[in-house]
Chain A
């Protein structure tokens, strides 16, 4: 009994102390998690910069919560893109009583960390994890501002159906959860558009020799070939397809929507059609792009506009609820309608972004170039999207 009273007394004293501190009122801690070491450290830093910019802008604007001017502090953590480290870092942030978290970068680290944040009641918004499972876990604290893999299949398939008007499409996958998943979505969308789809062909995520499959397909004369898999296998597939004289359009998902394709398939990669979740950096809000460049002396690489929006949404929800207490501002976050650097954002019941954009690219001169943005079932040519 005495102990409890004492701790309450101490706690209120501590609250009083921090409340009275003279440097700009109480601190609100926001966590950011991404790999800051290892192969994709540059992407982790890029994500962190996006969140940092949002926090710094909020501080400069003198954001007030609950009548006090608050100071936002970004706790940037490194999860090394490793699920094990990811959960350790998540626990660390939960123990540090952060008000909210932006991250993690990877689906692989986000998924196991999600329950930890949920247990601590801390809202977490990822700007880059696209695996559907993340929000299917059913944690109320989990959000993402980027599209899901299973929205991508329908996007590329409907673009292909509308623009290339194929009669027969061959669908191949690499027998992984990702490849098979996206290929299934594509097949469903194509069939709904009354396009004939050949029996599914499968390789593995290590296949280098696609000739047997491609030869068989060549005999059936498809107008388009869709492949669900990564660039390491997609590159040889496209190269061998062209070698065999297959003239069909090749369409791939985001696993093979990289500049690397031009190296792996050489000249054969030209004309590849592929999709990515989200919008290209260049299509983000001009004001954000300028501010980022001024602050970090570099252009954003990939998902920085998304983490910038994620951090801003946390801050915005706190302002609306007039509290940085997760339990109080979480309902505000769920129903927040926000206009960010990547466009209008609102969450659905699962915490996914409503009408998330998907971008269709084509390979031109060894680089992938955006062709069109697909949003809410509508296809907007990229030039028109940029003008908006």
Chain B
């Protein structure tokens, strides 16, 4: 039981980071129907900038939490700038181009950003300074650390803040209006270009924080970390219904849980020696043996398995509405 609970805790932590990254994909998609594949790289740059700042300040004797906060507040504006630059320089000129053009541009930009990061931060795996003193609590047999609590709390706060922004402010109303019909929104006096730019900037800021959380949680950062994280978050966004903000949150958390439970139990379910009639026919099962078909190294497969299942069974996602001309 405590193993199951622990897997839930692990999944919830990873899932809330996925959720925040997924928001960046879903917001942009909701407004201009573009899958911004460079978003994972924005997250990576956030982690890298924070790494540099934290590394500089770590020996300075400031309290650990303050150092991490300064690192984060350095990463946010840098990522906002990157997000804005992407929109202004790459996507806006292609606004009325065929759908495929911006999509391929996004993939290209992701490669460009990765290699820029490679030039700046080298190809080495960077070790995040371990400055936060780890405290663990025992909850019904599961070990929960202060970092995990902080990650879930920060992600929840950010998601709540975003929900307030989108559903309770003038800017949010403008965003939703632009998403529904940019032409009419423009006629109503909304500066559509500005709203789109702001969407990118907000997504990038969320991504920056997610990058820092990811870096401090796992203790490492590398210039390639954005691609797999980005793909998983994208799968989460599709799972929840791309373009749908609560959907991205739900999708992220669900994906984290599916991954943790999947990786935790796949070995047992695919151990053919558990199945009596099969075990008798496999030599490796003799005595206390095992014959495991799929081990936990298939962890990363679950995100994409979920993606495929969703696209086949419910293309609009869990919370998405059926919209014929999108995706």
Contacts and interface: CB of A to CB of B under 8 A. Distances in A.
Instruction: Classify the interface of chain A: helix, strand, loop or mixed.
Output: helix
B172 interface: no
Given A219-B3, A232-B125, A208 B299 contact: no
B10 A215 contact: yes
Contacts of A206: 224, 228
Interface in A42-60: none
A300 B296 CA distance: 42
A338 B134 CA distance: 52
Given A212-B263, A215-B3, A260-B127, A244 B219 contact: no
B264 interface: yes
A33 to B, nearest CB: 24
A245 B125 CA distance: 25
A204 B297 contact: yes
Interface residues of A, number: 33
Given A199-B267, A243-B136, A213 B3 contact: no
Contacts of B127: 235, 260, 263-264
B6 interface: yes
B7 interface: yes
B54 interface: no
Interface in B68-108: none
Contacts of B143: 243-245
A200 interface: yes
Interface in B241-266: 259-260, 262-265
Contacts of B14: 209, 211
B134 A243 contact: yes
A388 interface: no
A267 interface: yes
Contacts of A236: 218-220
B118 to A, nearest CB: 13
Given A209-B218, A219-B2, A266 B130 contact: yes
Given A199-B290, A235-B220, A265-B219, A243 B6 contact: no
A202 interface: yes
Contacts of B288: 196
B32 to A, nearest CB: 32
Interface string B209-243: 00000000011100011001000000000000000
A215 B6 contact: yes
Contacts of B224: 206
A212 B7 CA distance: 6
A232 B290 CA distance: 29
Contacts of B299: 203, 207, 209, 212
Nearest to B14: A209
A144 interface: no
Contact of B125 (A201, A218, A264): A264
Nearest to B7: A215
A346 to B, nearest CB: 39
Nearest to B3: A219
B3 A235 contact: no
A263 B124 CA distance: 13
A206 B290 CA distance: 26
Contacts of A202: 295-297
Given A203-B296, A243-B134, A264 B219 contact: yes
B242 to A, nearest CB: 24
A264 B297 CA distance: 21
B106 to A, nearest CB: 23
A212 B2 contact: no
A239 interface: yes
Nearest to B132: A266
Given A202-B295, A260-B127, A215 B136 contact: no
Interface string A344-372: 00000000000000000000000000000
Contact of B218 (A201, A208, A216): A208
Contacts of B134: 243
A73 interface: no
A240 B297 CA distance: 16
Contacts of B6: 215, 218, 244
B254 to A, nearest CB: 16
Interface in B7-21: 7, 10, 14
A374 to B, nearest CB: 29
Interface in A222-237: 232, 235-236
A239 B219 contact: yes
A335 B151 CA distance: 63
A207 B296 CA distance: 11
Given A200-B295, A235-B127, 15 more contacts: A199-B271, A200-B292, A202-B295, A202-B296, A208-B218, A212-B264, A213-B296, A216-B265, A235-B219, A235-B220, A239-B219, A244-B6, A260-B127, A264-B219, A267-B130
30 contacts: A199-B271, A200-B295, A201-B296, A202-B297, A203-B299, A208-B218, A208-B220, A208-B225, A209-B14, A212-B7, A213-B263, A213-B264, A215-B6, A215-B7, A216-B7, A216-B264, A219-B3, A232-B220, A235-B127, A236-B218, A236-B219, A243-B134, A243-B145, A244-B6, A245-B136, A245-B143, A264-B125, A264-B219, A265-B219, A266-B130
Query: Which A-B residue pairs are the 10 nearest by beta carbons?
Result: A266-B130, A212-B263, A263-B127, A202-B297, A219-B3, A211-B10, A199-B290, A232-B125, A202-B295, A215-B6
